Structure 1
Amino acid sequence: MVSLEKLKQLRLIHLCIALTFFTSGVCINLIQLLMHLVIKPFNKRLFRKLMYYACYSLYSQLVFVADWYAGSKMSVYMDEDDYKKYAGKEHVLLIMNHKYEIDWLNGWMICDKLNVLGNCKAYAKKPIRYVPIIGWGWWLAEFVFLNRNFDQDKTIITEQLKVVFSYPDPTWLLLNAEGTRFTPAKHEASVKFAQERGMPVLKHHLIPRTKGFTASLAPIRGLCPVIYDINLAYRPTDTTPSTMLSLLNGKSVEPHMLMRRIPLEQVPEDEKEAAKWLQDLFVEKDRIIDSFLETGSFFKTSGVKEVPVYVKKPRLSSLLNFFAWAIFSMSLIFSYLINSLLAANWTAFITSLSILGLFYWLMGQAIKKTQISKASNYGSAATAKASTK
């Protein structure tokens, strides 16, 4: 008899998860488009209320894989008053380290547990909006898409942030201030850049690009009250790699996340002073991560005040949402296959099998896109001169 652990490693199970996600994703994209055409022109507030549920229904399927399917456990460290009074109850600009293959999913996990998953947004590269399912969904959900050309992006940031923080419910906007995911090659270029300019050298981060951050401050003042500094780390002794493939194979991961609430009025309004504030923040973030990797504690050698840890259980809604879509998708696909087979409609049957193969291929491509080895060259030696943009 096949054990549950072995069952989760079967490609057939992975295919079912992929079929559910891609089939539901097409349906959700169509729903989002319909809301854009029918509701948004007449009632933007209602449109944005409903968009929360469409996005939640899509994102929470991947949260299900991490929380329920793989059984991952997230530990969140946050000041007790901030956690109880504010977490999940206000607009937030997030600044998070970008080092792990699934750090984006770890962010979704905490958003789900704080009931803001459907309204979590991010700065993203413009080409992503043309990617089916996720890209289309983000575009229809009014994400901030940038060209990586500051002269063009400054206008986009100013206009789009007013849209993002006009949502009636708490919205979390992620800014990866490092500009790209951490890799050894990019870190080497970042170290060289810092040394040439007499800046502090960071061990666990890339030098932050300050222009995007400072351009974001003026538009959100009066709309978004706080910045959340998120420090994500995995213990070096963890035996399971923090990858999407690990989760699909049913192997749990244990992310640790320190969240610090920083009122926006603590950030200087002057552009140069705000840029220095961000650079100083990353020096402190580097000490925090270094402390965790060396001692297993964010606080022991970082000089940061120790705060309580919270381990919240997965939400039932992500489980129910996934199985509802799974039943719909699987019944739709397999009934079509069976009917085609019984009717000896070989063209339809072979076409259906080809589509299943395409979905399986898409799943593989999606996993590859999360791998650090497949990260872009942006931020490497070839582009190091733009490190502060």
Structure 2
Amino acid sequence: MLLSLVLHSYSMRYLLPGVVLLGTAPTYVLAWGFLRLVSALLPARFYQRMDDRLYCVYQSMVLFFFENYTGVQIILYGDLPKNKENIIYLANHRSTVDWIIADMLAIRQNALGHVRYVLKDGLKWLPLYGCYLSQHGGIYVKRSAKFNEKEMRSKLQSHVAAGTPMYLVIFPEGTRYNPEQSEVLLASQTFAAQQGLPVLKHVLTPRIKATHVAFDSLKNYLDAIYDVTVVYEGKTDKGQRKESPSMTEFLCKECPTIHIHIDRIDRKDVPEEEAYMKRWLQERFEIKDKLLLEFYDSPDPERRDRFPGKSVHSKLSLKKTLPSVLVLSGLTVGMLVSETGRKLYVNTWIYGTLLGFLLVVIKA
């Protein structure tokens, strides 16, 4: 009985965030649909700005749970940009939480609404959000030979023409690094050997296609590239290093600290030709590998479990996140207290999802 109670209490840690984040989805989609409707006859920039603000509201709520609620400690190293910029965000990929790390940095620059992702193609089938993320500027891509360069380039160039603020998040490894997935590691190492590249220990060999298309399409619009390296700190009961947490584990407060190293690289210092950029990207990931090697295995105990250089403990104010929780939760509860509201809520889940799937099919 006691064990059951403990396990139940453990599950409750992620139940509240899950209920709120998923439960407010129809409210958010209805608000976005209303915005889309009323802005139809107005300049496109009006819709884009309002959509960015609306997106900021929801993502601020996400950060309330993933940062304030969990109490995770954020430690920043390297270049700490404070002002809004048009950037490409390149990071190592270790966890399903990685996309939220980009939000954590963006909100500290007041650029949370500008975040747009290069996403795996399968995510377009997410109920409600799969279609919306594309509308917000996200780009779904397939791997290898199925990668549609023309479609990605066209969408990015349309953003440039519209003057859309850009905080474009890309994970060049293409899949998550997990030392327990031997097949993924072997495939990455085999690819590196075939290309005559060094075999990396703590990251996968990066792929160039999406990064090059993004930079080539945005190069005259960008201010910089942020090269971000992330470590999720945590140890098992035996004192051994834990693998990067899943979203559920993270919400269960199993990650006490996140270490984030940022290199800001000015646009002019990035090679434009694909062959040179491929070498540049490989070198950036070799630097990441060295940073991670030193973090985990430095012979100096004082330098272990930290990145080199000065660090800043960055705490996110509740003023930036709690209002979004109260607004979206309040609107959702207000909808659910009436029969008409409940019908609208359920119909939004059902027909909103089906309409999103239909739009995905039509676009394909």
TM-score under structure 2 length normalisation: 0.79
Q: Kindly report which structure 2 residues correspond to 1:47-62, keeping only aligned pairs within 5 A, or say none.
A: 47-62=47-62
2:317 maps to: 314
1:218 maps to: 216
CA distance in 2, matches of 1:57, 1:285: 32
Partner residue of 2:277 out of 242, 264, 274: 274
2:193 maps to: 195
- In 1, are the aligned partners of 2:90 and 2:172 still within 8 Å (CA)? yes
2:34 maps to: 34
Partner residue of 1:163 out of 153, 158, 161: 158
Residue 142, structure 1, aligned to residue 137, structure 2:
yes
Secondary structure class of the residue paired with 1:255:
strand
Residue 324, structure 1, aligned to residue 319, structure 2:
no
2:70 maps to: 70
Partner residue of 1:124 out of 119, 122, 137: 119
- In 1, are the aligned partners of 2:96 and 2:246 still within 8 Å (CA)? yes
Q: Kindly report which structure 2 residues correspond to 1:177-196, keeping only aligned pairs within 5 A, or say none.
A: 177-183=172-178, 184=181, 185-196=183-194
Secondary structure class of the residue paired with 1:74:
strand
Shift of 1:78: 2.6
CA distance in 1, matches of 2:65, 2:161: 31
Q: Kindly report which structure 2 residues correspond to 1:189-268, keeping only aligned pairs within 5 A, or say none.
A: 189-235=187-233, 237=235, 242-251=245-254, 253-268=256-271
- In 2, are the aligned partners of 1:78 and 1:259 still within 8 Å (CA)? yes
Letter in 1 for 2:309: E
2:357 maps to: none
Letter in 1 for 2:36: H
- In 2, are the aligned partners of 1:95 and 1:230 still within 8 Å (CA)? yes
Residue 113, structure 1, aligned to residue 108, structure 2:
yes
Superposition CA RMSD, Å? 3.5
CA distance in 2, matches of 1:12, 1:336: 27
Alpha-carbon distance change, 200 to 41 in structure 1, aligned in 2, over 3 angstroms: farther
1:367 maps to: none
Letter in 1 for 2:273: D
CA distance in 1, matches of 2:313, 2:262: 11
1:291 maps to: 294
Secondary structure class of the residue paired with 2:230:
strand
2:23 maps to: 23
Shift of 1:306: 2.6
Secondary structure class of the residue paired with 2:260:
strand
Describe the superposition over 1:27-46 as per-residue Cα deviations: whole angstroms up to 9, x where unpaired: 22223233334425631111
- In 2, are the aligned partners of 1:20 and 1:329 still within 8 Å (CA)? no
CA distance in 2, matches of 1:192, 1:149: 15
- In 2, are the aligned partners of 1:229 and 1:260 still within 8 Å (CA)? yes
Letter in 2 for 1:200: P
Secondary structure class of the residue paired with 2:24:
helix
- In 2, are the aligned partners of 1:96 and 1:176 still within 8 Å (CA)? yes
CA distance in 2, matches of 1:186, 1:26: 37
Secondary structure class of the residue paired with 2:116:
strand
CA distance in 2, matches of 1:273, 1:215: 13
Letter in 1 for 2:246: T
1:89 maps to: 84
Q: Structure 2 unaligned runs (5+)?
A: 1-5, 350-364
Structure 1 stretch 173-182 or stretch 158-167: which is displaced more? 158-167
How many positions carry a matched residue from both structures?
331
Letter in 1 for 2:251: L
Describe the superposition over 1:81-118 as per-residue Cα deviations: whole angstroms up to 9, x where unpaired: xx3xx434111101100012312222222222222222
CA distance in 2, matches of 1:260, 1:209: 19
Letter in 2 for 1:65: F
Shift of 1:250: 4.7
- In 2, are the aligned partners of 1:97 and 1:231 still within 8 Å (CA)? yes
Letter in 1 for 2:230: L
Describe the superposition over 1:279-324 as per-residue Cα deviations: whole angstroms up to 9, x where unpaired: 1111111101111122399x969xx973443423334131121123
- In 1, are the aligned partners of 2:185 and 2:204 still within 8 Å (CA)? yes
- In 2, are the aligned partners of 1:36 and 1:140 still within 8 Å (CA)? no
- In 2, are the aligned partners of 1:154 and 1:215 still within 8 Å (CA)? yes
Shift of 1:133: 3.4
- In 1, are the aligned partners of 2:234 and 2:255 still within 8 Å (CA)? no
- In 2, are the aligned partners of 1:63 and 1:109 still within 8 Å (CA)? yes
Alpha-carbon distance change, 276 to 322 in structure 1, aligned in 2, over 3 angstroms: same
Alpha-carbon distance change, 318 to 281 in structure 1, aligned in 2, over 3 angstroms: same
Letter in 2 for 1:180: T
- In 2, are the aligned partners of 1:157 and 1:215 still within 8 Å (CA)? yes
